[in-house]
Structure 1
Amino acid sequence: MDSKAYEKGMETLGKMVSPEILRQTVENVRKFSPDMAKMVIEFPFGSIYSRPGLDLKQRSLITISSLVTQGAEGQLDFHIHAALNAGLTPEEIVEAVMHCLPYAGFPKSLGALGVVIRVFQEREISYSQA
């Protein structure tokens, strides 16, 4: 394990999610695969998200778009929560999903919108399109 990348990854993730979510998410993966838990912290969050050049809002927007185009709904809720914590507005998140329509198609975009709706409901965020 690259302890500097791991520490930086935990620090970066700590800015994106609550301590409880961070602990729970890391621990769930660590119980099953300690090596995978280390990699998930070190590489994306310790080496990529923590790089200069883009802020966490911009990186969250890119991540959401990427997950939508992949149809990766299983990871999307975590990253919607993180995007809101990083400062993206509900409007920006919905627009990002909508922007994916011509590139990812209706099924993936609508599936992602369902995740967004669920996260907004969990966080009691009201959204109305202007």
Structure 2
Amino acid sequence: MTLPTDRSSRWTAGMATRRSVLGDTYVDAASARTTPFDEGFQTFITEGAWGSVWSRPGLTRRERSMITIALLAALGHDEEVAMHVRATRNTGASAEDVAETLMHVAVYAGVPAANRAYKIAKEVYAEARTDGDAQGENHG
């Protein structure tokens, strides 16, 4: 990825937050896949989502994580649900937090959306246990 040399403070804060939440491995891989076609979009995500919203005071990363999972589950964005369930190892949201979040999804967005998200979360936690992830031991 060819990044602009005049990075904004929002981009810098966003990248730090993105790395803290998603992990260096994920962010490095996403950055390596960036092309000139989607470079502007990646900058937008880094500045907007990570540098503006996730970096704001007022909510903890745990709370933001739970809200994000609920919204993604409600909208049926399965890959993003999985990514953010994986990120709970960095945000402090426990498996119990995720389960409670998905109960809210069931009530406010529908049982099918919650059912799909529970399935995804269970797969992520099982994968973490298989990989020997200490957090996976605590997630399911």
Structure 1 and Structure 2 fold alike (TM over 0.5) = yes
- Unaligned runs of at least 5 residues, structure 2: 130-135
**Which position in structure 2 is the counterpart of 1:74?**
79
Query: Following the alignment from structure 1 to structure 2, what is the Cα–Cα distance between the partners of residues 63 and 27?
Result: 25
One of 46, 56, 59 as aligned partner of 2:64: 59
**Runs of 4+ deviating beyond 4 Å:** none
2:111 aligned to 102, 106, 120, which one?
106
Give the Å deviation of 1:109: 0.7
- TM-score, structure 1 normalization: 0.88
Count of aligned pairs between the two proteins? 127
The answer to whether structure 1 residue 42 and structure 2 residue 42 are counterparts is no
- Once residues 45 and 119 of structure 2 are traced to their aligned partners in structure 1, the CA distance between those partners, rounded to angstroms, is 25
Measured after TM superposition, the shift of residue 59 of structure 1 is: 0.6
SS of aligned partner of 1:123: helix
Deviation at 1:83, TM superposition (A): 2.2
Q: Provide structure 1 residue ranges, at least 5 long, that are not aligned to the other structure.
A: none
CA shift at 1:105, angstroms? 1.1
SS in 1 for 2:59: coil
Distance 1:92 1:69 in 2: 16
- Sequence identity percentage: 28
Which residue, out of 85, 92, 100, partners 2:97? 92
